[in-house]
Amino acid sequence: MGFAIIGTGSALPSKTISNEQLSTFLDTSNEWIESRTGILERRVCTTETLTDLCAQAATAALKQAGLTPQDLDLIICASITGDTIIPSQACMIQSALGTNCPALDINTACTGFIYALDIAAGYYARERVKHVLIVAAEAMSRIVDWTDRSICVLFGDGAGAAVLGPGDDLLSIKISARGDDKALFLEGHVGNSPFSAFRPINPFVSMDGQEVFKFAVGSLVQDLRDVIAQANLQMEEITYVLPHQANMRIIKAAIPRLGLAPQKFLTNIARLGNISAASIPILLDESSREGRFHPGDILALSAFGGGLTSGACVFRWGLPHSE
Amino acid sequence: MNTFDKVVALIAERRDLDTSTMKPETTFDDLKLDSLDKAELVMTLEETFGITIDTAEQMKTIGDVVALVEQS
């Protein structure tokens, strides 16, 4: 299908917050956070804007692809925490890179990168594009309540990018949605219209942990089975699984259900926490640059999140092995 | 194997626990199982027994779990 990934990039804010540091102002502990989630530390924005991180990630991906921003035909940004609503975060990236191609944002929460790949596949099928930039970026630190120990410990900030070019490496892809505003919720802008019946309630993410856990494990398992079958592959032919990094317990529950060796599941949640849509592309970039992948490797990505949305895909890795 | 033994085996297998101490009155707190363990157990029970469990909130002891499975 349609494209190859010809460059990846990622960018993280410089400040690291450990579980111990969180314990100094929240009633929590390293032991509690680590055993419940697998997270040891996370990055948070201080002076960095999301646009800064996006531009950095995009520039790294373009450099690896051997392209300039002017070579891009489309920019898709997946984010729920853009610096601005107007302009879109994609337009802010376009401006920062100094190019003038069409640009759009999508909101499919943590499933953002997969949905963006699916959208790009459509543009390739219509032969409308040669080079597409996908950036998935979040400053989750903006939308979590830092007085609520059950939520703020889970998330982190960062940006991941991928540049797509002509090719045939996408072997299968699946996206789905199931509207549910109870499992994961963040209210929108309410404003101060004197005529509106609504008032702002709570500007922070809320979550039903158990419901999300069950949805996550179920989706992770079923979506991967579906896309692997759709690609006419056997489970064992998958070289690596890159699951959304929401909670190590989700990944651990999925492993026996999928029957794949645990070493095939890549993670970075211990260092970075859950960065929503950015988790997977950051993991992809880091793994690539540390020399994990070889051309021909079969990678399976699987994400799930607010919406509720989920998605998965299988693609062949085409970039040369990094030393 | 009766339902109690099957449930105990499922709980023990995922978390590597000693089944000899498990009784109907044993609570999730006794076993040091948290809410995510409970959510995963519900999934495993639904998959194993081919049932749907709606009232997982009421599961406090192994006995509660067995009763829910038998009712479904």
Contact state of A249 with B43 under an 8 Å Cβ cutoff: no
- pTM across the whole model: 0.95
Domain annotation for chain B: domains and CATH numbers:
3-71 (1.10.1200.10)
* Catalytic annotation present for A110: yes
Instruction: Give the closest residue to A264 by CA, choosing from A294, A312, A299.
Output: A299
Tokens 């950015």 identify what position? A278
Contact state of B36 with A214 under an 8 Å Cβ cutoff: no
Q: Which residues of B touch A249 (CB under 8 A)?
A: 36, 40
**Rounded Cα distance, B61 and B25, in Å:** 6
Give the residue, B47 or A223, on which the prediction is more confident. A223
Interface ipTM = 0.85
- Sign of the CA dihedral A291, A292, A298, A299? negative
Q: What is the pLDDT of residue B56?
A: 65
Q: Which residue of A has its CA nearest to B43?
A: A214
Mean pLDDT of the region A177-181: 96
* Catalytic annotation present for A321: no
The catalytic residue among A110, A152, A268, A313 is A110
Say if A255 is an interface residue toward chain B (CB within 8 Å).
no
Q: What is the pLDDT of residue B55?
A: 66
Say if A203 is an interface residue toward chain B (CB within 8 Å).
no
Each residue of A231-281: pLDDT tens digit? 999 999 999 999 999 999 999 999 999 999 999 999 999 999 999 999 999
Domain annotation for chain A: domains and CATH numbers:
3-168 (3.40.47.10), 172-316 (3.40.47.10)
Q: What is the pLDDT of residue A1?
A: 63
Min distance B34 CA to chain A CA atoms (Å): 8
Q: Which residues of A249-287 are buried (b: 16+ CB within 10 A; e: fewer)?
A: bbbbbbbebbebeeebbbbbbebbbbbbbbbbbbbbbbb
* Catalytic annotation present for A19: no
**Rounded Cα distance, A138 and A150, in Å:** 19
Least confident residue range of A146-150, A166-170, B11-15, B26-30: B11-15
Min distance A5 CA to chain B CA atoms (Å): 35
Each residue of B15-72: pLDDT tens digit? 777 778 888 898 888 888 888 988 898 899 999 888 888 766 778 888 888 888 888 7
Mean pLDDT of the region A193-211: 93
Q: Which residues of B touch A253 (CB under 8 A)?
A: 40, 43
Cβ-contact A291, A323 below 8 angstroms: yes
Quote the strand ranges of B1-72, DSSP E.
none
